[in-house]
């Protein structure tokens, strides 16, 4: 099989090849298997977000698969078409990656919230700083959740196909088991407690 072109015909061929591989109705050649492996690798790099420049992604593809720079760039283009073939081009793909980014960032922020230190032997200033940091993390996470909710409202049919399952994703999707809902309520109660303690601390600490 020849290398795929940058034309719309080549892009359609890329999508058709991927669909055939998913259906399992045709045995792919070694060359076709290699193409799919390169596209999946390119897709993985794009979704990671740490690597934003195409030049860097292309270099990684070149190094891993020993292909030319031109071929590596074409792999990036084909990966975008294969994993996001909607119109306008790549809109669905970009929405999926944005949802994934928001989910991961929200989880990261909530993960930074430290347990309450009420009643523990802790310096007053350190305790106040901890509560301040916790409040900032929570406020940032809540703000991002509002943005994420808008994406879910605008694009209800779009879900990241290969993203890890997130609790926040299921909450907004309304598909959470009761045990998970209870855990979420407990987390929110603790968050409110942290914020309330911070407000009280601001009133007494500043006096």
Query: pLDDT (tens digit, 9 = 90+) per residue, 43-88?
Result: 888 877 677 788 899 999 999 999 999 999 988 888 877 776 333 4
Query: Which residue has better confidence, 180 or 100?
Result: 100
Residue 90 maps to a domain: no
pLDDT reading at 97 higher than 70: yes
Number of domains into which the chain is organized? 2
Are the C-beta atoms of residues 92 and 80 closer than 8 Å to each other? Answer: no
Residue 88 maps to a domain: no
> What does pTM read for this prediction?
0.38
| Residue 140 domain boundaries | 95-205
Average pLDDT over residues 142-153: 82
Do 99 and 200 sit in the same domain of this protein? Answer: yes
Do 71 and 18 sit in the same domain of this protein? Answer: yes
Q: Which residue, of 20, 55, 83, is where some domain finishes?
A: 83
Do 64 and 110 sit in the same domain of this protein? Answer: no
Residue 3 maps to a domain: no
Are the C-beta atoms of residues 162 and 175 closer than 8 Å to each other? Answer: no
Residue 111 maps to a domain: yes
Within 8 A by CB and 6+ apart from 193, the residues are 116
Span 107-136, pLDDT tens digits: 888 888 887 655 556 677 887 888 888 888
Do 100 and 50 sit in the same domain of this protein? Answer: no
Nearest to 172 by CA among 186, 156, 196, 194: 156
Please tell me the chain's helix, strand, coil percentages from 3-state DSSP, rounded to the nearest 5: 70, 0, 30
């Amino acid at each position: 099989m020849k290398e795929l072109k940058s034309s719309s015909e080549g892009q359609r061929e890329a999508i058709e090849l991927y669909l055939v591989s998913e259906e399992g109705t045709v045995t792919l050649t070694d060359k076709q298997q290699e193409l799919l492996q390169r596209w999946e690798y390119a897709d993985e790099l794009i979704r990671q977000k740490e690597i934003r420049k195409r030049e860097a992604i292309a270099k990684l593809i070149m190094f891993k698969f020993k292909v030319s720079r031109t071929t590596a760039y074409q792999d990036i283009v084909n990966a975008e078409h294969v994993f996001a073939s909607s119109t306008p081009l790549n809109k669905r793909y970009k929405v999926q990656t944005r949802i994934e980014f928001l989910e991961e960032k929200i989880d990261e922020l909530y993960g930074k919230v430290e347990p309450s230190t009420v009643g523990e032997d802790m310096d007053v200033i350190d305790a106040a700083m901890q509560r301040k940091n916790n409040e900032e993390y929570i406020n940032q996470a809540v703000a991002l959740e509002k943005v994420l909710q808008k994406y879910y409202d605008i694009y209800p049919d779009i879900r990241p196909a290969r993203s890890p399952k997130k609790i926040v994703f299921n909450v907004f999707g309304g598909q959470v088991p009761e045990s998970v809902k209870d855990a979420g309520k407990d987390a929110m109660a603790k968050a409110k407690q942290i914020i309330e303690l911070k407000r009280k601390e601001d009133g007494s600490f500043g006096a």
